[in-house]
Structure 1
Amino acid sequence: MSAAILALITGAVIGLALGALGGGGSVLAVPALIYLLGFPPVAAATASLVIVTVTSATALFAHARDGHVVWRTGLLFAATGIGPAMLGGALAGRLPPAVLTVAFAAVAAAAAIRMLKPRNSSAGTIRVRPGRAAAAGAGLGAVTGVLGVGGGFLAVPALVNVLGMRMRAAVGTSLLVITVNSLAALAMRAGTADGLDWAVIGPFAGAAILGAWDGKRLSAKLSGHTLQRAFALVLLAVAGGMLLDAVV
């Protein structure tokens, strides 16, 4: 199968995840770019951020149009995460690939387990505290910069479990956080963009954008609980695969 066809198929799946789940795109994009399309790890992280930035911005528009974005909380998350994302991006180049892979798998697994835990039925009424939102946003930005991911697979659990946001609103709001954090991380990875295979990245991103629109429609047909469990199971599968690759 040609690289262009693989890029189209994988991009569509990742766009579907971003549109429906508000995250999970980059956590799937990095392994796909490395193992299916032959990108080196550093180039894969940079290409992933390019793809996820344009895809999440597209999906954000669709969710905002339906009123599923909590702008104040999302912007606070994004603003406090910009600096840590840039610092993390600078640090990432100094860490061994195996360390990044294990850290990537551990963080994804922890987020998935948190999402699978039963929630209090009154969680949707918890008042959002600016200090808590700022601290969570800063931590998310740091992880985004170091691991080269958009951060939606962490933003959704944080918005749901830490801030008490309902799943559908968390999905839309996380896309705002992903877009801003990815742009900040890309700013620190500009030097790694040289030599990227844009003939693969272009179809990948285009298919992801189209997939995001389908994912948005899918999210309207499924319950928040179903989306949450699907999100967590995808994270666990990816985390297990990455960890096996790092230790075997």
Structure 2
Amino acid sequence: MEITGYSASILIGISLGLIGGGGSILTVPVLVYLFSVDTVLATTYSLFVVGSTSLVGSASYFKKGFIAGKTALFFGIPSIIAVFLTRHYILPAIPEHVMNVGDLGISRSVLLMVFFALLMVFASYSMIRKGREKSDAMTKPANTAWIIGQGVIVGMVTGLIGAGGGFLIIPALVNLLKLPIKTAIGTSLIIIAVNSLIGFSFSLGHYPIDWQFLLAVTLFATVGIFIGAYLSTKIDGKKLKPAFGWFVLVMGIYILIKETILK
């Protein structure tokens, strides 16, 4: 299982390097199912893995001038505030035992994994769907309040389940702020890095951290992002995105079944 887990960690980085998102949504399932890490602790570990890997990945985009600094701040500040509020107030407020549905007891871990699975299904749709005409979206002026709202949603997702939210950030940057796709990917990576690492710092002292294990997973994910960055020069990420979306969809359905029907 550990060998499978570390191999999957490389896949996390490859996805981030190749398409600028998607990989982070695999981190928690990899930690929970392949490394048997507690769900809440897995969301904390995921913040470090995703944040560190995205930070490394954003370096090449920064060198090429593919990061919009002002946009990252404009989008990122609401996200950071939302991460802080979520990690400090919302997540601790969820009781260990949430409710009973028939004979099924819904614990905090189950609730988080079901929410995560539903998010994976939603994310897979945005990856699978074909490149539709976006003339209406592209001609509308960016709505500041809507963009701030997107930042808050991304921050809550990051704080609650440890996913970077690239599948939410990139469409917002492309459709609302009219950024070129490569600039959107680079800017997304830096937003994910800042949100995730700050979110992880908020959790220090609250959860026991196995640094040796955490750094090992991060190292493999970092190797993956270099592979992904190299492949991005050889392969069109847009062609691989739908295939990865189907993989995320299957994973999401599997988690839903495992956490509900098979419990």
**TM-score normalised by L of structure 1:** 0.87
- Does the residue aligned with 1:99 lie in a helix, a strand or coil? helix
Using the aligned pairs only, state the percent identity: 34
1:110 is aligned to 2:122: yes
Q: Counterpart in 1 of 2:84? A: 86
Q: Counterpart in 1 of 2:186? A: 172
Q: Counterpart in 1 of 2:102? A: none
Greater shift in the superposed pair: 214-223 or 111-120: 111-120
Contact 1:6-1:37 within 8 A present in 2 as well? no
Q: Structure 1: which 5+ runs fail to align?
A: none
1:98 is aligned to 2:97: no
Alignment CA distance shift 1:7-1:229 (3 Å): closer
Q: Counterpart in 1 of 2:234? A: 221
Name whichever structure is richer in helix by fraction: 1
Greater shift in the superposed pair: 44-53 or 110-119: 110-119
**TM-score normalised by L of structure 2:** 0.82
Whole-Å Cα distance in 1 between the matches of residues 181 and 240 of structure 2? 8
RMSD over aligned Cα, in angstroms? Answer: 2.4
Contact 1:52-1:179 within 8 A present in 2 as well? yes
User: Counterpart amino acid of 2:32?
Assistant: I
Shift of 1:21: 1.8
Shift of 1:203: 1.7
Q: Structure 2: which 5+ runs fail to align?
A: 95-107
1:154 is aligned to 2:168: yes
Instruction: Give the number of equivalent residue pairs.
Output: 245
User: Counterpart amino acid of 1:9?
Assistant: S
Which has the greater radius of gyration?
A: 2
Q: How does 1:206-245 map to 2 (within 5 A)?
A: 206-223=219-236, 225-245=238-258
Whole-Å Cα distance in 1 between the matches of residues 32 and 240 of structure 2? 27
- Does the residue aligned with 1:137 lie in a helix, a strand or coil? helix
Whole-Å Cα distance in 2 between the matches of residues 166 and 229 of structure 1? 20
Q: Counterpart in 2 of 1:15? A: 13
1:46 is aligned to 2:44: yes
Whole-Å Cα distance in 1 between the matches of residues 174 and 22 of structure 2? 15
Alignment CA distance shift 1:185-1:8 (3 Å): same
Q: How does 1:114-129 map to 2 (within 5 A)?
A: 114-115=126-127, 116=129, 118-120=131-133, 122=135, 128-129=142-143
Alignment CA distance shift 1:159-1:230 (3 Å): farther
